[in-house]
Structure 1
């Protein structure tokens, strides 16, 4: 039976669970002969400041190669999040490094927006945006998850957002070699000192603590910053990171080829694996894996155990006749299983990584990434932003590129360089050495990472492998400076049959500035009436206000054996 709970009650419950989740320990318990956890520097807490208003701010803001186009006073309540009005602040609009492209002759600049609260908490937040960037979106500062009830600006942070060096959310900027580099990593490096200078001019002091965060490509930006700009930030909030984005995009193109070959309607990729068939597989996964955590509740908490428990060939019926949504053909099983195991090129080279079997395959969001994005997004990114040389933008056809192109050729070209494009895609798009975060660690900075286990474009397996490598590089335990939280059932950054509403920024600040390392993070479902917006993917038999603890890897949430399965209090991280 569904029931609703007031937003105030939900927020209070989440706050109580979050406070209970934070501890003063800076590592998970060691096992066996694991060496003692290294003692790291403890960074101090930020102290706030205020400014009278926005009227005279423009005259104070000067920085080399930077133009401030507007400073606007934004009254309290003009912006709201989760039904809460954001306090009064100043909006600063501008751009850096206006130039003309050396190859395409087009005009480029790094556009940005900053929002500076009149009552400032002493902290700076760099909002790393998603997709191919290209738009200066509102600088609010995401805290993580879907349907947020809060943001960094509302909490008193000064926040910046940017277009990462090109003025449209299309891939054509990839013809310009400098625009590629700005998108990959240099925009963050250029904007960060400028933003800190603006903050100092506005409040009379630089930020005491600086944070950077985002999801998807924003998660990638943040992981790259952790490797390249560890001296500039104290806290890194990484969501569903596409930190090997070019490889993930080619793997998704490989998926499109498979689904096109399986399609019952030529040209319609979605008919290669229909919604009914995806629900069939999701339900089969639940049938084998749902109760592995002690509760049959529609969530696969023990992702690792599930991969051993589920077998698509054994656990999904094979069609004896026509496809009708109650079975998969032998060809479907073979093709889909190969994609989940990790897509390969025509010559058999592994492109990216595996995807975990999970319960979130039947959603519209999953379908969009698998069946529409290869042509609408991945083709342009691979062909125009990452390949060397790029395709001709005047004649580029994304559908033909995907369905007729060679995966081996794509893979070779994103690894190539020439006299114009001197850094290849895997150089400018990925962290230089993802498992070496010594600079971040040794100065007392912290990182929180989350990833939905039903993410259809960037696999949580990839992030899990990265975190395992990080643990290995740090004597078997990286928990004293970086923690990873898998979000069961969540699709890409939000949605899916999941408790996808959570705040990762608050525990990150508590860890950075107070030494309170989070073992769990409170998460809630977004049912009807949720102030952050309802999640259309929630199963009908879930409570609208279901809660769960998200557990620091490698622990998983397990049912205690009694009480409502909609209440986080009845689960523990083990």
Structure 2
């Protein structure tokens, strides 16, 4: 399933200096050494913070004690946009969170150039039993709402940064209200969303912690998935104010990914059912073109089954999960491994036109003069999942046009996503004018993508990064993240794994879900790496079948054990079946 020019991107490429060490829980201490274990402190004040805390351009609206069990870790998705006008839901069910102090406030209140009121809204949760660490929770989508500052980890999480004793902050990144990107028409609001809100909130949060506990944090961590992962990757390149970064499905080239979605929508449209519409994903009263008929659920299952037939056993076990991702990219051939229709489409074959479009969409799209729009995507059976279809067929015409038109382009302006000139739109991401003095690419992406030397500077002071990405992610490509890792490794002379580890998650959709074992904790290994020098090589990831206390994943196949577990291995190691033992148990797998 490859564009003619995508072979190099999809070929099996191993980091030359990353040793294929055993997929064991921890590896040896890296060069540079740990930074020292954080030490906790007692919470000295809570309700009085509203009056006692002072920081430039900061207003504390309230500070209240939250009793143990009042907040429960509910596993809601931080990467998912909220419906118009909706407020973030307080979690219900799940594990109870211990007593903590909830502080709400705002920074940099101002009147925008559009006459609207703006501020960087935030909340901080300060645990009574504090571990001496600070966690900045990067939120997903277009931000715009202060989500509960839990520091949730993995799909349907059983733990979180807050539950582990971190002080956690969450923000709206400088704009609030209905989850739409019209804030992007206001120049400063664009900049806050891109990177300045994190830069402004970070010193304030550390000062608030110092006031509440009588000491500042010994170690600081920044994490998030999707746009939250982008926030983390951008701060790692720009501000470098943290000791550890937990980066999930990073949309570090978000403008390019969104434009590739528009390009894909135009490819799907001629194959879709003419005139078909569906409900807007964020506005229940609005309709959008329904593109799902271009590649139906049955046809996606046909391709997923073909992928499993070709690639499932590459990791030693035929278990409905392709863990040898890179090997599969060279083994699977869409043109020959899936039947081509000789008559009408019937769900048991793909038309020649479909095969061309699918291959081109997976290649990331190109302008009319051959310039790549975005990265190639790895093929994975998770394409049969509902989240994959939502991003490709609905969000591509409902969400991506808004962000491309109002946040990333100079000058901004709306358009018909199925008619816009994609080739003319791409240069607008690099443009500036007297109003928008920083381009969309500059404010949204980490400096030095092609040669990430800025991130390389983190190594010298013991900073660590752990990155995870669902292989079946339909909006941000796991291949794009892998290529970033390769570029970093080249810039580091083959020593990227001394401070960065990348964990692909087979079958996982965008941030969570899919045909996957998506419940895992990578924060604890990151802390051990930063503070004790123990480099993570693998963690145990589990499926969220029926009865999972963190919330069930409806797409876990019925033939899997509901608590199936697998080693989640650092690239380029692959979890491989030992040849004996329970195929549902991670203990039956080792590296290859």
Q: Give the alignment's TM-score, normalised by structure 2.
A: 0.89
1:130 aligns with 2:140: yes
Distance 1:258 1:141 in 2: 38
Task: Name which of 393, 396, 408 aligns with 1:371.
Answer: 393
Distance in 2 of aligned mates of 1:485 and 1:543: 23
By how many angstroms is 1:565 displaced? 1.3
Q: State the secondary structure of the residue aligned to 2:479.
A: helix
Residue 326 of structure 1 is matched in structure 2 by 348
Structure 2 match to 1:277: 299
3-state SS of paired residue (1:501):
coil
Q: Deviations over 1:276-329 (max 9, x none)?
A: 001101111111111111111111111111111111110111111111111110
Identify the match of residue 505 of structure 2 among 487, 495, 503.
487
Shift, 1:142, TM fit? 2.2
Partner of 1:470: 488
1:174 to 156, 178, 184: 184
8 Å CA contact retained: 1:65, 1:96: yes
Q: Could you tell me which residue of structure 2 aligns to residue 34 of structure 1? A: none
How much has 1:24 moved relative to structure 2?
Answer: 5.1
- Native 8 Å contact 2:297 2:384 kept in 1: yes
* Contact 1:499–1:523 (CA under 8 A) maintained in structure 2: yes
Match of 1:456 in 2: 474
1:351 matched to 2:373? The reply is yes
Q: Distance in 2 between matches of 1:381 and 1:111?
A: 21
Q: Once the two structures are superposed, what CA deviation does each residue of 1:17-38 show, in whole Å capped at 9, x if it has no partner?
A: xxx94435135xxxxxxxxxxx
Q: Contact 2:34–2:529 at 8 Å: present in 1 too?
A: no
Change in 2 beyond 3 A, CA 1:364/1:336: same
State the Cα deviation string for residues 117-138 of structure 1 (Å, max 9, x = none): 1121100000000001000010
1:60 aligns with 2:52: yes
Other-structure match for 1:287? 309
Give, in angstroms, the shift of residue 346 of structure 1: 3.1
**Please, which moves more after superposition, 266-275 or 328-337?**
266-275
Equivalent pair of 1:53/1:73 in contact (CA under 8 Å): no
**Alignment partner of 1:23: what SS?**
coil
Q: Counterpart in 2 of 1:5?
A: none
How do 1:259-274 and structure 2 match up within 5 A?
A: 259-266=268-275, 267-274=289-296
CA–CA distance in 1 between the matches of 2:231 and 2:555?
28
CA displacement at 1:563 relative to structure 2:
1.2
Aligned residue in 2 for 1:201: 211
Deviations 1:160-186 (A, max 9, x none): 000001113210001111111111111
8 Å contact from structure 2 (residues 505, 516) kept in 1: yes
CA distance in 2, matches of 1:507, 1:300: 25
Tell me, yes or no, if the aligned pair for 1:343 and 1:350 is still in contact at 8 Å.
yes
2:26 alignment counterpart: 23
Matched, 1:86 2:97: yes
CA contact (8 A) 2:456 2:488 kept: no
| Contact persistence 1:346–1:406 (CA under 8 A) | no
Q: Of 507, 521, 537, which residue of structure 2 is paired with 1:503?
A: 521
Mapped to 2, the partners of 1:364 and 1:292 lie a distance apart of: 26
Quote the residue 1:545 is aligned against.
Answer: 563
CA distance in 2, matches of 1:550, 1:241: 18
For 2:150, which of 140, 161, 171 is the aligned residue? 140
Distance change (3 Å), C-alpha of 1:270 and 1:567: same
Give yes or no for the alignment of 1:403 onto 2:414: no
Q: In the aligned structure 1, how far is the partner of 2:368 from the partner of 2:170? A: 40
Q: List per-residue Cα deviations over 1:446-488 (Å, max 9, x = no partner).
A: 0000001000000000000000111111111311110000000
C-alpha distance in 1, partners of 2:70/2:543?
27
What corresponds to 2:543 in structure 1?
A: 525
In the alignment, what sits opposite 1:119? 129
Q: Which residue of 1 aligns with 2:281?
A: none
1:212 matched to 2:222: yes
Unaligned runs of 5+ in 1: 1-19, 28-38
* Secondary structure at the counterpart of residue 479 of structure 1: helix
Q: Which residue in the other structure is 1:40 paired with?
A: 32
Once residues 292 and 265 of structure 1 are traced to their aligned partners in structure 2, the CA distance between those partners, rounded to angstroms, is 40
Gaps of 5+ in 2: 1-22, 75-93, 276-288
Instruction: Give 1:432's aligned residue.
Output: 447
2: CA distance between counterparts of 1:88 and 1:268?
Answer: 47
The answer to which of 264-273 and 211-220 deviates more is: 264-273
Q: 1:166 and 1:465 mapped to 2: Cα distance?
A: 32
| 2:199 equivalent to 1:189 | yes
Q: Does 1:442 align with 2:434?
A: no
What SS does the aligned partner of 1:68 have? strand
2:358 aligned to which of 314, 329, 336 = 336
CA contact (8 A) 1:24 1:515 kept: no
Is 2:26–2:538's contact at 8 Å kept on the other side of the alignment? no
- Deviation, 1:47, is 0.4
Residues 411-449 of structure 1: CA deviation (Å, up to 9, x unaligned): 011111111111111111011024222321110010000
Indicate the residue corresponding to 1:74 in structure 2: 66
* Inter-partner Cα distance in structure 2 for 1:344 and 1:23: 41
Given that 2:410 and 2:432 are in contact with CA atoms closer than 8 Å, whether structure 1 keeps it comes out as yes
Write the deviation string for residues 129-159 of structure 1: whole angstroms up to 9, x where unpaired.
000100001001122x200001111111100
1:60 Cα deviation after fit: 2.0
Matched residue, 2:110: 99
RMSD, aligned CA: 1.3
Q: Which residue of structure 1 aligns with residue 336 of structure 2?
A: 314
User: 1:378: Cα distance to partner?
Assistant: 0.5
Deviation at 1:376, TM superposition (A): 1.6
Q: Is the contact made by 2:471 and 2:505 (CA closer than 8 Å) also made in structure 1?
A: yes
Give the distance between the partners of 2:27 and 2:428, measured in 1 at CA.
Answer: 48
CA contact (8 A) 1:341 1:353 kept: yes
Q: Would the aligned equivalents of 2:290 and 2:394 in 1 still touch at CA under 8 Å?
A: no
**Contact 2:27–2:537 (CA under 8 A) maintained in structure 1:** no
**1:85 to partner: Cα distance:** 1.5
